[in-house]
Structure 1
Amino acid sequence: MLELDTILAPFLEHEYPELSDVLQRDFQRVLNCSDLELYRCLLRAETPSDLSLQSILGVIREKHQARHSS
């Protein structure tokens, strides 16, 4: 899904290297989510089915919004 690529690719390139080990593992787990669930969580701010991913999804949303609010 193109919308997800425009969020996740820049995050991976710019933010991922600076994440803690825990958040890096969580990001890797996010990549196993379905496109539909990621779309709902990242673009609609819905709660993920795996609640342990809320933190990384919040970080991804925040970084994406910060890149586009400048």
Structure 2
Amino acid sequence: MNAELSKLRWACRRGMLELDSMLAPFFEHHYLDLSAPLQQDFQRLLECSDMELFRCLLRAETPSDTSLELILGVIREKHQARYSG
């Protein structure tokens, strides 16, 4: 694995179990299948604080960067499919 992917894998490890349980599996199973723009959005999403990311994934707030809504929706969809299937 190249250094950039290792760095992203590490960035998926957060201070909250809830985030870890959504981000790490998403990265492992879906990241490489994303389009380049969505990969960039995912990388920008990882720059958010844990609390902002948590609130956005739970739809309790809108991200300060509204262009991240699409990647948030993709993460939610994949997470839901993983546990309802």
- 1:65 maps onto 2:80 in alignment: yes
Quick one: percent identity of the two aligned structures? Answer: 74
Corresponding residue pairs, total: 70
C-alpha distance after superposition, 1:1-42 (max 9, x if no partner): 111000000000001010000000000000000100111111
Alpha-carbon separation, structure 2, partners of 1:60 and 1:12: 9
In the TM superposition, 1:7-46 aligns within 5 A as 7-44=22-59, 46=61
C-alpha distance after superposition, 1:27-68 (max 9, x if no partner): 000000010011111123531111010000110001000101
Name the aligned partner's letter for residue 22 of structure 1.
P
Instruction: Flag structure 2 segments of 5+ consecutive residues without an equivalent.
Output: 1-15
Is the radius of gyration larger for structure 1 or structure 2? 2
Name the aligned partner's letter for residue 44 of structure 1.
R
Structure 1 residue runs of 4 or more that deviate by more than 6 Å after TM superposition:
none
> Whose RCO is larger (CA < 8 A, sep 6+)?
1
TM-score, scaled to structure 1: 0.94
Name the aligned partner's letter for residue 56 of structure 1.
I
RMSD (CA atoms):
1.0
